[in-house]
Amino acid sequence: MKAQFRRTKDKDFTGQLIRKNMESYYRELGIDWDQGLFDKNWDVFENYELLVNFAPVGILRLSHDHLAYYIRDLQVDPRWQCKGFGTQAIEYAADIARNSGFGLLRLRVFRRNPAVSLYERMGFRIRKTKDEMHYMEREVS
């Protein structure tokens, strides 16, 4: 099944999905949801929704600096996970980076997150590990 991607203005869906998917990590690590930071970054990040049959099933949030494009959030509704949508979202992000003239795609992920294996399968390598986070990157040229 193929997902469609489009820019989104649905801040509520995005925030709810992030909180829902990340809740166990936040609780385990004693991290509180920072609504102010989410609100601040909403206007800075490129916000996309993943759609299946015109219904949102996930979100992809990107940013960039002068060195690389960054996946800031990639969340898929648990009912739609393990169906290839994460892979499609990563390839979509890589295409955006490449088409924008960037050669690197970076992200950070909790070390315990099973998505680490997906990222490694998609060509990401761990650049460094600090505290509970892996910092990963892949070339997109």
Q: What share of the chain is helix, strand, coil (3-state, %, to 5)?
A: 35, 35, 30
Eight-state DSSP code of residue 141: -
The answer on pLDDT for 141 being more than 90 is no
Mean pLDDT over 122-141 rounds to 96
Which pLDDT tens digit goes with each residue over 70-97?
Answer: 999 999 999 999 999 999 999 999 999 9
Integer Cα distance of 103 and 86 in angstroms: 20
Which pLDDT tens digit goes with each residue over 108-129?
Answer: 999 999 999 999 999 999 999 9
Q: How many helices (H) and strands (E) does the chain have?
A: 4, 7
What integer pLDDT is reported at residue 95 of this predicted model? 97
Could you list the beta-strand ranges (E) of 1-43.
4-7
The answer on pLDDT for 58 being more than 90 is yes
Find out whether 69 and 112 touch, Cβ atoms under 8 Å.
Answer: no
Q: Which of helix, strand or coil describes residue 68?
A: coil
To the question of domain 4-139 being in CATH 3.40.630.30, the answer is yes
Which pLDDT tens digit goes with each residue over 9-19?
Answer: 999 999 999 99
Integer Cα distance of 85 and 8 in angstroms: 17
